[in-house]
Structure 1
Amino acid sequence: MSCPNCVRGVVLPGEPEGTMRTDLDAYLASPNKSGDQWTPSTHAVVLLTDIFGLKLVNCKIMADRFSRELGCDVWVPNIFDPEAPVGVDELELPDRAGVKMSWGAIFRLVWIAATRLPTVLRNTPTKASARAEQFIERIRSDYKYTGVGAVGYCFGGSVVYKIASTSLVETAVVAHPGGFSDEQVKAIRVPISWALAEDDHGIPQKKADQAEALFAERKGKEGYVDYEFKVYPGTAHGFAARPNLAVPEVKAGYEGAFEQAVGWFKKTLTT
């Protein structure tokens, strides 16, 4: 697992409206589906989940909303083998900025990682990235999408680093992703939008500033890509994927990060 705070969460209200595609081991939200009839859209977005994977309904509810607002297909593939290593029943309420993990929560994280070591090792960001790449290659081939965007949350954000360094997607969004190296940032070759928490030990402000500086260094040079960084006050890691909507700052951050992603895709991905 990429970070302790990945093992925290709150379930969003609502019920999924899309379809589980067992042939692709993925959830599909589409504006062009009526009953059993479905016509692929011209463009698509692939949502890459946090460490809870498809077990947590949030990713499906968010995919439905993205599909409505963008008017395109939104896919949520299972990027784990065989499934996410953390169950929904192991959730804890997310922290707002300034609230730290208790020693009990840290001990539980260590216990989960130790007792599920084989599963954890099968599901590193590198291995999950390979699965995500294969999935995107397949849907581009099967459904002839002329453009694909990727949005990744927490663990899924770490997966996006690798995908954004390929030609598989035209644009990307990451929300409170896992840690990164300078080399990973320098390798990104598509426009990318960052939605960050005020309080995230994985990406503290200094680290975020460092990444932004690396993008700024490319201006006027070959390899420059459009980018943006936004930090949401009062939020902690996980706010954009599993928010505690009862906390005003967290709710505002969740809504802000969602609309940030929508705006980015409307700007960089013709839907």
Structure 2
Amino acid sequence: MASHPPGSCCYKGVRHEGTPQGKISKLGDFEVYTVGEPSEYGVLIITDVIGHKFNNVQLIADQFAANGYFVMMPDLFDGNPITLNRPEGFDIMKWLGGEYHPNKRAHDPPHVDPIIDSCIIELRQKHGIKKLGAVGYCFGGKYVVRHLLPDSGKFDAGYTAHPSFVEEAELKDMRGPLSIAAAETDTIFPTEKRHQTEEILKESKLRYQINLYSGVEHGFAVRGDPEKREVQYAKEAAFLQAVQWFDEFLKGESLRRSK
């Protein structure tokens, strides 16, 4: 694997203050959070295991919208996300397998991929998105890589922070530009997995970027403690990394024409 499976660090952190500006609605049989003005440029946020109603990630979605992107963020878990700072003893692997879901619905590709596909179709056909980026935090990183296939009408560019559960084959099959924000201390995406990922990306000849942030741990880009200056700096810088990446690979041609 290019990163390890999720662990307890994937749902621990600090809730951030602020009032989200988007709205929750239904797309088929699942909820989506949407925010932003109509645009030909869009971003689909594929969340960590805490899900689309988490205040922190809604505030991040709002910031992408403030940078000129129409943003959609789906409920990947059929109303069964993991709550922030779940007490010790919770088994995330059992959760992934559906053991904690009332209908035993697993949180795996056969259940998540159709949600991603439905969102892509909605964004491109209903909202007129011509260039679509994918943002994946932790759990979501796997699905950015799986669907980063521009020639198939899926994502045109991808960004992930502290990814988990990405398989080598998925990374090798990817066909679009990918930017990664990595934490210095991360048992899910540790040094050896990061270096392995670098080698696979180098061999792919695709455009890629990997930024390593010191003084932070897995989850910093969404759940980091803003009272710690090094964490807040890394969180802000990782967000700007994503915006700059999408400005280049989604808006780049039009931006160059306007100069």
**Structure-1-length-normalised TM-score:** 0.82
Q: Secondary structure at the match of 1:63?
A: helix
Paired residues for 1:52-67 under 5 Å: 52-67=50-65
Paired residues for 1:178-257 under 5 Å: 178-218=164-204, 224-257=205-238
Fraction of identical pairs, as percent? 29
- Name the residue aligned to 1:29: 35
* Preserved CA contact (<8 Å) 1:3 1:178: no
Q: 1:114 to 1:260 in 2, by over 3 A?
A: closer
Measure the CA separation in 2 of the matches of 1:237 and 1:181: 18
Select which of 3, 8, 16 maps to 1:4. Answer: 8
Give the letter aligned to residue 80 of structure 2: A
Give the letter aligned to residue 78 of structure 1: D
Measure the CA separation in 1 of the matches of 2:112 and 2:229: 33
Select which of 199, 221, 239 maps to 1:258. Answer: 239
Paired residues for 1:122-161 under 5 Å: 122-161=106-145
**1:163 aligned onto 2:159:** no
- Name the residue aligned to 2:257: none
Q: Secondary structure at the match of 1:86?
A: coil
Measure the CA separation in 1 of the matches of 2:143 and 2:93: 24
Give the letter aligned to residue 257 of structure 1: A
* Preserved CA contact (<8 Å) 1:147 1:269: yes
Aligned-residue offset at 1:233:
0.4
Q: Secondary structure at the match of 1:52?
A: coil
Unaligned runs of 5+ in 1: 33-39, 93-103, 219-223
- Name the residue aligned to 1:16: 20
RMSD of the alignment, in Å? 2.3
Q: Secondary structure at the match of 2:163?
A: coil
* Preserved CA contact (<8 Å) 1:125 1:155: no
- Name the residue aligned to 1:86: 82
Unaligned runs of 5+ in 2: 255-259
| Mean CA deviation greater in 137-146 or 116-125 | 116-125
Q: 1:114 to 1:155 in 2, by over 3 A?
A: closer
Q: 1:175 to 1:121 in 2, by over 3 A?
A: same
Measure the CA separation in 2 of the matches of 1:111 and 1:185: 22
Runs of 4+ in structure 1 deviating by more than 3 angstroms, as ranges, are: 108-116
**1:45 aligned onto 2:37:** no
Q: Secondary structure at the match of 1:256?
A: helix
* Preserved CA contact (<8 Å) 2:96 2:108: no
- Name the residue aligned to 1:95: none
Select which of 71, 90, 99 maps to 1:108. Answer: 90
Q: 1:8 to 1:125 in 2, by over 3 A?
A: farther
Aligned-residue offset at 1:58:
1.2
Q: 1:261 to 1:188 in 2, by over 3 A?
A: same
Measure the CA separation in 1 of the matches of 2:249 and 2:93: 42
What count of residue pairs does the alignment treat as equivalent?
A: 242
